[in-house]
Structure 1
Amino acid sequence: MRSFLSMCLLLIFLSSTAQKKALVGGTLIDGFGGDPLRNSVILISGTKIEKVGTIETLPVPAGYEVISTEGMSVLPGLWDMHVHLMINGHSDYPYWDKKYPPLFRNVIMPAGARQLLMAGVTSARDLGAPLEDIIAVRDSINKGRMIGPTLYVSGPFLQHAPYPGTEQFRWGVNGPADARAKVQRLAKGGVDCIKLIDQDQMTQEEVNAIVDEAHKWKLKVVAHSHRPEEIRRGMIAGVDCFEHTGLATAPEYPEDVMKMIKERTANSNTKLFWCPTVEGLFNNDYNIRNTEHLDDPSWQVGLPDSVVKDIRNSLAHPSQLSYFQVTPYRKPTLKRKFSQLKESGVILLIGTDSGIPMKFHSQSTWNELDIWVREMGVDPMLAIRSATYWPAVFHGVEDKVGTITEGKTADIIAVRGDVLRYINLLQKVDMVIKGGVRVK
């Protein structure tokens, strides 16, 4: 049954009932952050946005399929800047990493990609996967052979030494020359960015070599920021984007680290990006006491029954998961650290670490947005920009996607209601258009 449904979805994705569409009547949030446009009209021709206006200023020409967006918020397709398509919520990493690599390319990753797209994520950055598998999935999506968001991928992590059994998607670095060689191998393999972790276990020379070589290949470097020394070494080397708000239970970032960040952001010629990924930690106590989300069928789409059962069994006792045992001590530090970042001048990006235990691709992105707005005090419009405009800027594709603008690719979603007042309405995206084709 699932294979039949997959084929039906693919046929929908590859075909459109009309080459020209008109989205009429909704409140447009274009991604730039200006005032919403009421009673909007968006004309789509083929894969592109042709014109944007209102019912009063832009009549719909003959020959367009009219799609009513009355009563809906219309906004650019979302980005999730930190996903892991090779995992899908299972709690036992060593077990998963040993059993499921043969299914990554043709089952696990395609299922995760489809789930993201159906949740309104039309672009995503995958940060850690076997090189050949994730490149194959990315390229299949780009060629229309597979349903999913446009992917920007790092391939394997670069770190001092891979954890046992993870060598397929974690590459060790042994000296500056080897660091450069590993970056060159990834670049020639076709990655879109470089992922660096545990850089506090590397020498500064190794970290410098990775960043310098990546920049020579016009690739940006994304690095973990779990520990202060990871940030220090990454800042010295010129890392472009940091991930997470830290594994440490310290109440705030050290003064010298914040000084480095503020000095970097004070330079108008450079930008420093950051994915805090706070929701998985902030909501954990709620999730282990309210497990209804584990029964949501959306995270099961595309997965064989045997894999679904395996994931369910691994989550039978949510409060006992070793992955989250320190979380109660980290949660009280999140708001302070998030506030430090927000006030430092870094550009915050929506990223979720989607795929980690109890974090499903179909649910992660809207949950992160909800916590930003409801708990971290981020203005809803700024949160949406962090999931649309700014990710496109990071990857240098803001002239193509990220906003609803004439001439750009028609990646558009719509949700019934006012997302600027109720951001959690994004948990049920009513319409998804990717590349001009309505897929939901």
Structure 2
Amino acid sequence: MNIKNLIITFLSLTIGSTLVFSQTTKALVGGTLIDGFGGVPIRNSVILIENDKITAVGQVGSLEVPAGAEVISTEGMSVMPGLWDMHVHLMINGHSDYDHWDKTYIDLFESVIMPSSAHQLLMAGVTSARDLGAPLEASINVRDKINRGEIPGPTIYVSGPFIQKTAYPGTEAFRWGVNGVADAKAKVKKLADAGVDVIKLIDQDQMTLEEAQAVVDEAHKYGLPVVGHSHRPEEIRVGLKIGVDCFEHTGLSSAPEYPEDIMLMIQERSAQMNRGPLFWTPTVEGLYNYESVRNNPEKLDDPSWHLGLPDSIIRDIRASLRYPGRMSYFQLTPVRKPTLERKFSQLKQSGVVMLIGTDSGIPMKFHSQSTWNELDVWVNEFGYDPLLAIKAATYWPAVAMKVDQDYGTISEGKYADIIAVRGDVLRHISLLQDVDLVIKHGKRVK
């Protein structure tokens, strides 16, 4: 045996069966493939992976598995692209007191909290995520460490600090206020120069129209999409006027539906095909499921959210959740909950392209659980087609982030970001709460 073969054999034996360095080709064989495009699933599928890319997709009997490939059986499983979560907060992890959390742990965001959140997302089958709001340096550094393979996590797209009219006291590290058009442009330029992937705009209705317009125009000058809050009707009106690319949330108001004039504006913008789709991330799960969690808090004891956190922080989070019914954050939620399905239905019928996102990290919402919960509410509570819900968690997010040439579907030439679960996920979307197989960039990580 020559030296090369000795080295390969040694690595194979010492590192383990899931990382076999002597085989650069993997073959996923036998499962039902939901490729992300929204079409009919492919039975008895075969997916060939070479290094980090998908090289071929077919079926048993028509696509040959190369000799020497590492074969991973997906018999009895639903196979699909890795999930995207388009609205996460890596800097928080379910604690009920933001003020305490920020003051106590801000120096640990980069080294502990954000890496922990990212790892939890990856183990939940989320292979790409959009992080909307954190200190700039921590955001860039955590994203880049993941991309270099130094820490585990999804491919992350970061906004860094929010842009808003006035930062809330004590939040200046991750919320930047603007004072005038020149300042608005300067703040966006600073984010762009640092290398963010997206600009997050909130409270745009509290800015002058000129300031808000300057944020969007400057972002677009650097090729950066702008996401905007949509809690208040006037936030949406201003956002539509200035050209926000993607709206976040269905709104925290208890109004029964979106006003007619806003729906007309949304429909008009959605009809402008030359501008591309208008995207919307409803983030309904946190509000919709609050009363269920409050009344049945056993799920708060799920140890999956402990991953990567020291015992002291776990105890702090757990103590903050001792009385779920007393949290000021959720006191209006029972009033707002009945409006969610109506607003969701309005958006569904308006022509916007809806994306799966969760607000993961808010009180009682953990990165290890939030994404499948969002899909579950869409499908099982709001009657959304499961194939289209999966497309909203795979194909469309990649389009929204302009990386669909590399991500979002299981097709030739794209990165091998693939998950699989045992059973029929189109019939039982909640199977996604326990993802059996996670492959990111061709490497099996679960």
Give the CA deviation at 1:70.
0.2
- Aligned residue for 2:273, secondary structure, equals coil
Q: Look up the match of 1:177.
A: 182
Q: Look up the match of 2:343.
A: 337
How far apart are the structure 1 equivalents of 2:316 and 2:362? 15
- The one-letter amino acid of 1:202's match is M
How far apart are the structure 2 equivalents of 1:254 and 1:228? 8
1:165 aligns with 2:173: no
Where do 1:1-400 residues align within 5 Å? Answer: 18-270=23-275, 271-400=277-406
- The one-letter amino acid of 2:90's match is L
The 10-residue stretch of structure 1 (116-125 or 288-297) with the greater mean CA deviation from structure 2? 288-297
How far apart are the structure 2 equivalents of 1:62 and 1:100? 51
Give the CA deviation at 1:12.
9.8
Give the CA deviation at 1:20.
1.0
Aligned pair count reads 431
How far apart are the structure 2 equivalents of 1:37 and 1:310? 46
Q: Residue 77 of structure 1 contacts residue 413 of structure 1 at CA under 8 Å; is this kept in 2?
A: yes
The two structures, once aligned, show a CA RMSD in angstroms of: 1.3
Change (3 A) 1:175 1:35: same
- Aligned residue for 1:41, secondary structure, equals strand
- Aligned residue for 1:18, secondary structure, equals coil
1:424 aligns with 2:421: no
- Aligned residue for 1:180, secondary structure, equals helix
Q: Look up the match of 1:412.
A: 418
Change (3 A) 1:169 1:61: same
Deviation readout 1:211-254 (Å, 9 max, x if unpaired): 00000000000000000000000100000000000111000001
Change (3 A) 1:148 1:175: same
Q: Look up the match of 1:3.
A: none
Q: Residue 19 of structure 2 contacts residue 444 of structure 2 at CA under 8 Å; is this kept in 1?
A: no
Give the CA deviation at 1:13.
9.6
Q: Give runs of ≥4 in structure 1 deviating > 4 Å.
A: 10-17
- Aligned residue for 2:407, secondary structure, equals coil
Q: Look up the match of 2:12.
A: none
How far apart are the structure 1 equivalents of 2:32 and 2:445? 21
Give the CA deviation at 1:435.
0.2
Percent identical among aligned pairs is: 71
- The one-letter amino acid of 1:317's match is Y
Q: Residue 274 of structure 1 contacts residue 348 of structure 1 at CA under 8 Å; is this kept in 2?
A: yes
Deviation readout 1:159-212 (Å, 9 max, x if unpaired): 011111000000001111110000000000110000001111111111100000
How far apart are the structure 1 equivalents of 2:346 and 2:20? 47
Deviation readout 1:111-132 (Å, 9 max, x if unpaired): 0000000000000000000000
Match of 2:439 among 417, 426, 433: 433
Q: Could you tell me which runs of 5 or more consecutive residues in structure 2 were left unpaired when the two chains were aligned.
A: 1-14
Deviation readout 1:56-91 (Å, 9 max, x if unpaired): 101211010010000000000000000000000000
Deviation readout 1:329-369 (Å, 9 max, x if unpaired): 00010011000000000000000000000000000000000
Q: Residue 12 of structure 1 contacts residue 439 of structure 1 at CA under 8 Å; is this kept in 2?
A: no
How far apart are the structure 2 equivalents of 1:415 and 1:298? 17
- The one-letter amino acid of 1:383's match is A
Q: Residue 15 of structure 1 contacts residue 437 of structure 1 at CA under 8 Å; is this kept in 2?
A: no
Q: Could you tell me which runs of 5 or more consecutive residues in structure 1 were left unpaired when the two chains were aligned.
A: 1-9
Q: Look up the match of 1:7.
A: none
Give the CA deviation at 1:17.
6.6
* Alignment TM-score, normalising by the size of structure 1: 0.96
How far apart are the structure 2 equivalents of 1:187 and 1:328? 39
Q: Residue 16 of structure 1 contacts residue 438 of structure 1 at CA under 8 Å; is this kept in 2?
A: no
Q: Look up the match of 2:3.
A: none
* Alignment TM-score, normalising by the size of structure 2: 0.95
- Aligned residue for 2:247, secondary structure, equals strand
Change (3 A) 1:98 1:399: same
Q: Residue 13 of structure 1 contacts residue 147 of structure 1 at CA under 8 Å; is this kept in 2?
A: no
Give the CA deviation at 1:376.
1.2
- Aligned residue for 2:217, secondary structure, equals helix
